[in-house]
Chains A and B, each alone.
Chain A
Amino acid sequence: MTLDALNYIVALPEIFLLSMTCVVLVVDVSLRDAQRNASYVLAQLSLLGTFLLLLSGMTDARIYAFNDMFVQDGMADLLKLFVVAIVAVVFVYSRDYLKGRSIFKGEYYLLGLFATLGMMLMISSASLLMLYLGLELLSLCLYAMVALHRDNGNASEAAMKYFVLGAIASGMLLYGMSILYGLSGSLMLVDIAHAVTQTGSTDIGMVFALVFVLVALMFKLGAVPFHMWVPDVYQGSPTAVTVFLSTAPKLAGFAIIMRLLVEALGGLHTDWQQMLVILAVLSMAIGNIVAIAQANIKRMLAYSTISHVGFIILGILAASAEGYASAMFYTIAYALMSLGGFGIIMLLARSGFEADQLDDFKGLNQRSPWFAFMMLILMFSMAGVPPTLGFWAKLAVLKSIIHIDMVWLAGVAVFFSIIGVFYYLRIIKLMYFDKQQDNTPLQCSTDMQFVLSGNALLILALGLYPTSLMVLCVSVFT
């Protein structure tokens, strides 16, 4: 076997990212605390390089590498581009926040870069082995990042909860995978798909394995009834980490659902469709209703995440190319909205003040009309008000559901979205119609202000011209 047989050029972005991360690791060790900005710049440069390599390597074909363990296709390219870009923006947002809390350490960037590598491997995995390793790489980084603020009791509690529950979910996934391996005799997703079509959907053993795999995936994504960790972890971890784990990992989660459920177990779609209907309805119901009762905005956004996950599941359960494209569109839209939402929280936060209560948003319009407007766009988009991106995302998912004749399900989704509008509009009410309690001027760097404005305006722009992104998503699945 020669080196060329590995076809490793396909994984060049990943190899570059890994090498650069090791460079950051070595450089960071030799830096003094005052020079920590160098790690930040290096991390951003690694992400930029990875992004450019991804762009130059884009292809419509399906290429395998590393003995069919690694796959590159249209979906992988698009998702990886968004993952890398989102992580870069997260790094921009979190710099001031980390500095204000004396956790501005190189390790945040290191773990972030390693997590990005894990997500890229998850997105490109073509074997159960790679899928699991990518997921563990991502999860381990996230556990450590949540606990980064060591002296904070809430953060340690959140990390412990996340770690224990995450380990249980990983165990479930491994159990399901071992049954799949036993029944199909292969770790390759293609071979498993082949075995499923041979035995047909009547095979109870396969369905048994499917249940375990599905539970684990839904846990990682945070769908009801596997959502218990989401609010606690979102609230407990430093906002710089919350924004990380609520955005890019969702794209990777969508990718492994596509790889496992659709590519490997697509033959069982009648089985997982029923299970996903229950999960989707429960997620939308619990997420939207419980969010109303929250006074902490990070917790509220956590429940809102759960309801958005319900919508993503809706798209997937349509089990059609249109459904997958709409779910992908929704996932990307959600990641961008969540990025902006937590970005605003970090903008308001300052040293010794978290700005994570709803009341902290009172009278934001008087303090900063521009960022109040940005938050308005973000909240409208999350609620699904036209002409923002969130509206088109919801519309696309609902259309794909109606096309498989599940009109009642679309009705349920609309009903819960309308309930959800309440708590998004409440923030707008607080910002525009309440008196301000906090007169401190906003203090944050110019680059963050620019990127944050760009983020919110992008959501508005994509809402006005949704075709561009939609065409990209549809082209991936045809």
Chain B
Amino acid sequence: MTFTDFIFFAFSALLLASAMGVITARNPVHSALFLVLSFFSCSALWLLLEAEFLAIALVLVYVGAVMVLFLFIVMMLDINLVQMREGFVRYLPVGVFFALCLVGIMIWVVGDFSAGVFEVPTLQQAVQHGADYSNTKALGRVIYTDYVLPFEIAAVILLVAIIAAIILTMRRREMTKYQTPSKQVMVKRNDRLRIVKMEATVEESE
């Protein structure tokens, strides 16, 4: 085992463990933090593949921006953990049973991994580049040429996501009370104040 192999296995193990942590952690904040860890270990794996631009983008965008925002939201939400876990124990045996069945079938089909089912000539180790190789340059060269259509469509998908998020959250509620400044400054004394003339009464003292 070379040193790179060791790094690969170490970060893979970390990735798997933190991914498990995301779904098993009791506290949603811990889940989000585990997700940060899994993103981080994933970016380390990408660095091993010499995809340094993607690795840095993952850390900057996901760890730095998206997850921080996510943490804010999770902390602001009032999540009822007891309610969320309702029925967990009831469905656990069924879920575990089917998951085991699925894994069993997969192992049965693929069989002995040493038989090399997935070992085909194309599945080689990633190409090693020299020190002057720039991943950013390589990406930039193909993204607007060879992959221009997928790139544009990915942009369209993001646009759809924005539109969908806006229509699902922005609406005028009937019950909401809001102020209209233009109407407020137009208000006259007579609209608000009513002078009532009435006879003076004297309370009878006991």
The 0/1 profile, CB within 8 Å of A marked 1, for residues 137-156 of chain B is 00000000111111001101
A205 to chain B, nearest CB (A): 5
A67 touching B146 in the complex, CB below 8 Å, given contacts A143-B164, A183-B120, A208-B110: yes
Determine if B171 and A150 form an interchain contact, defined as CB atoms under 8 angstroms apart. Answer: yes
Q: Which of B164-194 contact A (CB under 8 A)?
A: 164, 167-168, 171
Quick check: B164 and A185 within 8 Å, CB to CB? no
Contact B171 A129 (CB under 8 A): no
Nearest Cβ distance between residue B101 and chain A, in whole angstroms? 14
Contact mask for chain A residues 33-58; partner B; CB cutoff 8 A; 1 contact, 0 none: 00000000000000000000000000
A302 interface residue (CB < 8 Å to B)? no
Report if B92 contacts A (CB, 8 A): no
Chain B: which residue is nearest A107 at the CB level? B167
Given A204-B117, A208-B109, CB of A140 within 8 Å of CB of B160: yes
With A1-B145, A110-B163, A208-B109 in contact, do A199 and B153 touch (Cβ < 8 Å)?
Answer: no
Neighbouring A residues of B81 by C-beta, 8 Å: none
Of chain B, the residue at the smallest CB distance from A209 is B118
Are A136 and B145 neighbours in the complex by a CB distance under 8 Å? no
Which bucket holds chain B's interface residue count? 20 to 34
Q: Is A129 a contact partner of B118 (Cβ separation < 8 A)? A: no
Residue among B111, B117, B154, B167 with the most chain A CB within 10 A? B167
Is B157's beta carbon under 8 Å from chain A?
A: yes
* Residues of A with C-beta under 8 A to B147: 67, 69, 129
> Which residue of B122, B148, B154, B164 contacts A111 across the interface (Cβ within 8 Å)?
B164
What band does the interface of chain A fall in when counting residues whose beta carbon is under 8 Å from B? 35 or more
A130 and B163: CB pair below 8 A? no
Tell whether, in the assembled complex, residue B153 and residue A205 are in contact, meaning their CB atoms are under 8 Å apart: no
Contact B145 A144 (CB under 8 A): no
Q: Do A184 and B122 touch (CB < 8 A)? A: yes
Cα distance, A25 to B167, chains bound together (Å):
13
**Complex: chain A residue closest to B153, CB-CB:** A133
Interface of A (DSSP majority class): helix
Is B148 touching A6 in the complex (CB atoms < 8 A)?
A: yes
Q: Is the CB of B163 within 8 A of A137?
A: no
Interface centre among B111, B149, B168 (most CB of A within 10 A): B149
Would you give the 0/1 interface string for A124-165, flagging 1 where the beta carbon is closer than 8 Å to chain B? 000001100110110011011001101000000000000000
- Check B202 for interface membership: any CB of A closer than 8 A: no
CB of B162, distance to nearest CB on chain A (Å): 10
B157 with A183: CB separation less than 8 A: no
Task: List residues of chain B with CB within 8 A of the CB of A117.
Answer: 156
Q: Does A70 contact B (CB under 8 A)?
A: yes
- Selected from B106, B111, B123, the residue in CB contact (under 8 A) with A183 is B123
| B103 at interface by CB-CB < 8 Å | no
Judge whether B167 and A137 touch: CB under 8 Å: no
User: A residues within 8 A CB of B146?
Assistant: 67
Nearest Cβ on chain B to A75's Cβ, whole angstroms: 19
User: A269 — which chain B residues lie within 8 A by C-beta?
Assistant: none
Question: CB-CB contacts of A169-195 with B at 8 A, as 1s and 0s?
Answer: 000000000010011110000000001
| Chain A residues near B106 (CB-CB < 8 A) | 208
Residues of A within 8 A of B156 (CB): 18, 114, 117, 137
Within 8 A of B (CB), among A418-435: none
Is A105 an interface residue, CB under 8 A from the partner? yes
Say yes or no for A82: interface residue by CB 8 A criterion.
no
Does the CB pair B160–A144 fall under 8 Å? Answer: yes
**Contacts A1-B145, A70-B149, A110-B163: A205 and B118 contacting too (C-beta < 8 A)?**
yes
Answer whether residue A83 sits at the interface, using C-beta atoms and an 8 A cutoff.
Answer: no
Tell me whether B149 and A130 are in contact (CB under 8 A): yes
Contact residues in A for B123 (Cβ distance below 8 Å): 182-183, 185
B contact residues vs A (CB 8 Å cutoff): 106, 109-111, 117-118, 120, 122-123, 145-150, 153-154, 156-157, 159-161, 163-164, 167-168, 171
